[in-house]
Amino acid sequence: MSSKLVAPHGGKGLVCALLEGAEREAELKKAAGLKQIEITARAKGDLIMMGIGGFSPLSGFMTKADWKGVCENFQMADGTFWPVPITLDVTAADAAGIKVGDEIALVRKGETFATMKVTEKFEMTEADKRWECEKVFKGEGEESVGDKFWEIAPKDHPGVIMVLAQKDVNLAGPVKVLSEGEYKKEYPGVYLKPAETRAMFDERGWANVAALQLRNPMHRSHEYLAKIAVEVCDGVLIHSLIGNLKPGDIPADVRIEAIKILIDHYFVKENVINAGYPLDMRYAGPREGLLHATFRQNYGVNNMLIGRDHAGVGDFYGLFEAQQIFDRVPVTGDPSKDLLCKPMKIDWTFYCHKCDGMASLRTCPHTKEDRVILSGTKLRKALSDGAPVVDHFGREEVLVRLRAYYAGLTEKVEVKMQGAASGAAM
């Protein structure tokens, strides 16, 4: 049976750098004798995505020309669309001992994740890092206006903090991935590779698939978005980030369990798949929305649900900037280079007492006082503070699980409320 699904991004099919069996064993043996480079959690997630085909057509870390093109105009050096730099940083001391053409081993906490053939080394000055931050993380929200960005972002924006903390040299080159980390073991049946989701969609006869991106447990607004997509598509992939988040966010195992509870009680199971992917959040707002659509295309998805403040942090981004950015991406007319996964742009959603149900600004004529404003941050804050959760905010079966998680915490992280989450801008 031929697949009706959207082609993987980049026109080369699924590009998978993961080695298995005897080939992997031989490469692991070789890696033991190579120069060992300790990598960040972010690079670990990027490597796994390159391994499983999630980052097709990438087969390694970006060159300076790719980095510059991606930051400047969303395109790698060969014209292929890509919205966020995928780079590997090393110390100047490590870089001095590595020549172009050398092979190195990429390790994290004692585990070898990949080998890499170095094709290029390029310096990242403070000015380069600041330029990357302005291109990738600066938005149109209140905290990005004028000088405010550089007053607030270096201490409050996790993505900016991460880029500014990068070491001084980037290495480029293809990788051979040797590990999928802990994900297979810790999230069986949920951690799925692009080839696996595509096979599941094909088996169900799906051609038109939407993805819902989650880094929070599903509240009623998420549920509503997923159900809108179920109505107009063949099915929905509820796709949760299972890599690292910022302090105060709810861990992946709790979120996955909460989603399963919701699906069991409130969805037709044949129309939805609950899965996870192994990246860390970059909190790049609109650019990250584009990244979510790019790699979802590799998973077989052609519609990306984009709601209010997608992948945002603080008040750095406009409420619907992550929707608007899709209208500004370059289109070459070559399907092997362009982004084929399209946004499903949904307006601000909420529960309305007068409408007696879920609604959006496009469908509800009533006032702010009639509405229950829903946001993951607002939910986390109420649960963290032990405060009551407003009626119609979440499903009780899910809230029971989340309250149990918060009750078991020994240390509380302060959850900062941004304007968007409070509903002040409505």
Q: Any idea what the CATH number is for the domain that residue 64 is in?
A: 3.10.400.10
Q: Does any domain span residue 303?
A: yes
Which pLDDT score is estimated for 420? 53
For range 31-49, the mean pLDDT: 98
Which pLDDT score is estimated for 412? 67
* Distance, CA of 46 to CA of 177 (rounded, Å): 10
Cis peptide upstream of residue 57 (ω within 30 degrees of 0):
yes
Q: How confident is the model at residue 383 (pLDDT cuts 50, 70, 90)?
A: confident
Is a pLDDT exceeding 80 seen at residue 414? no
Note whether 170 and 47 are same-domain residues.
yes
Which pLDDT score is estimated for 1? 67
Show the domain range for 52.
21-124+166-179
Question: What kind and span of H or E run contains 193?
Answer: none
Is a pLDDT exceeding 60 seen at residue 307? yes
Q: How confident is the model at residue 217 (pLDDT cuts 50, 70, 90)?
A: confident
* Distance, CA of 170 to CA of 345 (rounded, Å): 36
Phi-psi region of 123 (alpha: psi -120 to 50; beta: other; left: phi over 0): beta
The number of folded domains in the chain is: 2
Which of residues 179, 209, 242 is at a domain's end? 179
Note whether 191 and 114 are same-domain residues.
no
* Cβ neighbours around 184 below 10 Å, total: 13
Name the nearest CA neighbour of 283 among 326, 257, 322, 225: 322
Q: Does any domain span residue 297?
A: yes
Q: Does any domain span residue 3?
A: no
Note whether 333 and 371 are same-domain residues.
yes
Residue 71 main-chain phi, psi, to 5 deg: -65, -40
Note whether 333 and 364 are same-domain residues.
yes
Residue 202 Cα distances to 240, 244, 301, 336, 342, angstroms: 21, 30, 12, 22, 20
Which residues form the catalytic set? 215-216
Q: Is 268 exposed, middle or buried (0-12, 13-18, 19+ CB in 10 A)?
A: exposed
Which pLDDT score is estimated for 250? 86
Note whether 170 and 282 are same-domain residues.
no
Name the nearest CA neighbour of 48 among 284, 282, 279: 279
Query: By mean pLDDT, which of 20-24, 247-251, 410-414 is the weakest?
Result: 410-414
Which pLDDT score is estimated for 376? 77
Note whether 89 and 194 are same-domain residues.
no
Percent of the chain past pLDDT 70, that is, above it, reads 96
Note whether 273 and 363 are same-domain residues.
yes
Q: How confident is the model at residue 416 (pLDDT cuts 50, 70, 90)?
A: low
Note whether 79 and 204 are same-domain residues.
no
What's 290's domain CATH number?
3.40.50.620
Q: Does any domain span residue 138?
A: no
Note whether 171 and 211 are same-domain residues.
no
Q: Does any domain span residue 139?
A: no
Note whether 94 and 211 are same-domain residues.
no
* Distance, CA of 397 to CA of 401 (rounded, Å): 7
Give yes or no for a contact between 118 and 37, defined as CB atoms under 8 angstroms apart: no
Which pLDDT score is estimated for 419? 57
Name the nearest CA neighbour of 9 among 425, 335, 395: 335
Which pLDDT score is estimated for 424? 58
Q: Does any domain span residue 30?
A: yes
Structure tokens at 244: 């690292």
Give yes or no for a contact between 137 and 157, defined as CB atoms under 8 angstroms apart: yes
Note whether 296 and 397 are same-domain residues.
yes
Which of residues 156, 179, 202 is at a domain's end? 179
Note whether 310 and 413 are same-domain residues.
yes
Q: Does any domain span residue 416?
A: yes
Is a pLDDT exceeding 90 seen at residue 385? no
Q: Does any domain span residue 73?
A: yes
Q: How confident is the model at residue 247 (pLDDT cuts 50, 70, 90)?
A: confident
Residue 238 Cα distances to 51, 197, 218, 276, 320, angstroms: 22, 11, 10, 8, 21
Structure tokens at 394: 């979440």
